[in-house]
Structure 1
Amino acid sequence: MKVGFIGLGNLGRAIVKRLVKQGVEVLLWNRTKEKALELGLPVAESPADLIKQVDRVFLIVFDSSASEEVIFGKGGLVEGGVEGKTIVDMTTNHYGYARMAYEELRKLGAYYLDAPILGSVIPAERGELTVLVGGDRQRFEENKPIFEKFCRNIFYVGEAGDASKLKLINNMVLGGFMQVLSEAIAIGELAGFSREQVIEVLESGAGKSYLLEVKKKKLLESDYSVHFSVDLIHKDLHYAEDMVKGLGAFSFSLQNVKNAYALAKYLGMGGEDFSVLVELYKRLKAQSLSDT
């Protein structure tokens, strides 16, 4: 089995390594070629070159603009000929873009699966990711054996665009929970408790969660090397705002949570893991004291 793979950020790299361990032959392309070469796998010269050599391409890039460029831009997948081929887009996309990409590729005789991923580097390494898939059911079934190599939970949810909507709903919870945990830990420290004690209480009480479990080590060691960045969660929450507005609905918390990450970006934390938000509140307190 041979697949093309585009996008070697932290999660993309982890998925590729998992696929290779599971016996999948992978052909790579990445905007920064050096990242692809580091993996010691074959590297195509462009997305167009890549799709000439495979029947299906998995991609996971930063946002919908990057996905659009890879698929439809100069040297993109469509320039290589996509008729009869499947593009599996695991990017967390704007739901409107996912639907547009499906329709445009269908006109070219190609298939687009809207397939965002839940989870980050650690579950990817364990083969424990979750994937939400929208698009043609037959193409989903054809690619399910590949999803099973790096995902524990696989959901077919309907049309292209629907998977992106569900991913954004999930990330509303993810971003909000990380913000609440960070705020609670920071306030606990400011109240004179050790970080270890605050986390121990939270994981025995209302804070007990998968998120705290996987971020506990980072928080205790103040290690904010990126698994899932502030930049990414801020982008996702921006897309979620568009979705909420498009539904004619409202959210009491979404804008405030997004603004917390926006402030972290403004203070230079955008490229760090989103658990770095715990430092934001302490920094604001220190800034407040220095201004008095």
Structure 2
Amino acid sequence: MAKVAFLGLGVMGYPMAGHLQAAGHDVTVYNRTTSKAESWAKDHGGGHAKTPREAAEGCDFVMACVGNDDDLRSVVLGEDGAFAGMSEGAVFVDHTTASADVARELAEIGREEGIGFVDAPVSGGQAGAENGQLAVMCGGAEDDFAKAEPVMDIYAKAVVHFGDVGAGQLTKMANQICIAGIVQGISEGIHFATKAGLDAKKVAQLVSQGAGGSWQLANRADTMVDGHFDHGFAVDWMRKDLGISLETAKGLGVSLPIVALVDQFYADVQSLGGGRWDTSSLIERLRALSGEAK
């Protein structure tokens, strides 16, 4: 069993850290809002610290799951950052969905201190985190990944190494690119079925058994029909992720026309007040165009 710090206790980090503690690891958590760290310690029996540095001191692994590039830098760098508390040979594992550039930047700084770095964004949403069924996409040196893989396995159904630092983030971008088009297609299909007078839930159930099937269709169709979006991955965060994908694609000379379009559709959802709605709320934009939005 290892001594582990977990930085960031959002809807993903809170249960992920809980799985580590339940598996017998010695876990200390840090969260910007101290009361949430205190609540986690009360729920799970681990410790909590006032700064990332304090949480990271003496740890074999430091896991993070925060909001964006700047949030990540804020918990890693500086005199109160995690790197300041980590010892040579320890490994930092970043589960934030961030840019490949910040992963490479922080990995280089860590390397100078003898600290390993694995960028390891996840897919599977809040339910995946709570059930320990996440897909983890990793980049980093082979030996750093090999050290961290058994720890990540505790809250994952799949942990895959894709290459050097940054490869995990690039894989997550491909994941989000695929999801954007799928959710828009499902939204259009359900909206079409409803307007045609069909039982949209029944249609979705049948379609999910054929070539049009997907996780999104199987798990989100009913709530899309019902207009329930108070769950899952927020539109605000999806736009952050798509923005990273579009910026990276621009640097690669890659065209992402569907992503660019769906990103603007999500902007329309935000204008409807849906910034914190689940990403499946794209259908509300179509209802708004038909004068039916809630």
TM-score normalised by the chain length of structure 1: 0.91
Q: CA offsets, 1:185-239, max 9 Å, x none? A: 1232233333323323432444311222232453355332232111111111111
Structure 2 equivalent of residue 246 of structure 1:
251
Rate the CA distance shift 1:35–1:96 in 2: closer, same or farther, 3 A.
Answer: same
Q: Which amino acid aligns with 1:25?
A: D
2:130 to 115, 125, 128: 125
Structure 2 equivalent of residue 37 of structure 1:
38
Structure 1 equivalent of residue 223 of structure 2:
218
Q: CA RMSD in A?
A: 2.0
1:101 to 93, 106, 121: 106
Contact residue 10 and residue 227 of structure 1 kept, 8 A: no
Structure 2 equivalent of residue 4 of structure 1:
5
- 1:112 to 2:113 alignment: no
SS at match of 2:176: helix
SS at match of 1:158: coil
Structure 2 equivalent of residue 174 of structure 1:
179
Aligned length: 288
Structure 1 equivalent of residue 234 of structure 2:
229
Pairwise CA distance, 1:132: 1.5
Q: Percent identity?
A: 30
Name the CA distance, whole Å, in 2 between partners of 1:2 and 1:29.
14
The answer for unaligned runs of 5 or more in structure 2 is none
- 1:188 to 2:193 alignment: yes
Name the CA distance, whole Å, in 1 between partners of 2:19 and 2:89.
27
Name the CA distance, whole Å, in 1 between partners of 2:26 and 2:224.
36
Rate the CA distance shift 1:192–1:134 in 2: closer, same or farther, 3 A.
Answer: same
Q: Which amino acid aligns with 2:20?
A: L
Contact residue 186 and residue 279 of structure 1 kept, 8 A: no
Contact residue 82 and residue 110 of structure 1 kept, 8 A: yes
2:164 to 159, 162, 172: 159
Structure 1 equivalent of residue 25 of structure 2:
24
Q: CA offsets, 1:248-272, max 9 Å, x none? A: 1212311001111122122221112
SS at match of 2:159: strand
Name the CA distance, whole Å, in 2 between partners of 1:25 and 1:82.
17
Rate the CA distance shift 1:265–1:160 in 2: closer, same or farther, 3 A.
Answer: same
Structure 2 equivalent of residue 136 of structure 1:
141
SS at match of 1:10: coil
Name the CA distance, whole Å, in 2 between partners of 1:240 and 1:128.
24
Higher relative contact order (CA 8 A, sep 6+): 1
Q: Which amino acid aligns with 1:21?
A: A
Q: Which amino acid aligns with 2:216?
A: L
Name the CA distance, whole Å, in 1 between partners of 2:222 and 2:155.
23
Q: Which amino acid aligns with 2:27?
A: V
Q: CA offsets, 1:51-72, max 9 Å, x none? A: 1142311001111111111111
- 1:145 to 2:150 alignment: yes
Rate the CA distance shift 1:37–1:217 in 2: closer, same or farther, 3 A.
Answer: farther
Name the CA distance, whole Å, in 2 between partners of 1:87 and 1:20.
18
Pairwise CA distance, 1:245: 0.9
Structure 2 equivalent of residue 283 of structure 1:
288
TM-score normalised by the chain length of structure 2: 0.90
Pairwise CA distance, 1:117: 1.0
Rate the CA distance shift 1:214–1:82 in 2: closer, same or farther, 3 A.
Answer: farther
Rate the CA distance shift 1:139–1:62 in 2: closer, same or farther, 3 A.
Answer: same
Name the CA distance, whole Å, in 2 between partners of 1:129 and 1:159.
21
Q: Which amino acid aligns with 2:267?
A: A
Rate the CA distance shift 1:144–1:81 in 2: closer, same or farther, 3 A.
Answer: closer
Name the CA distance, whole Å, in 2 between partners of 1:262 and 1:83.
44
Name the CA distance, whole Å, in 1 between partners of 2:19 and 2:228.
24
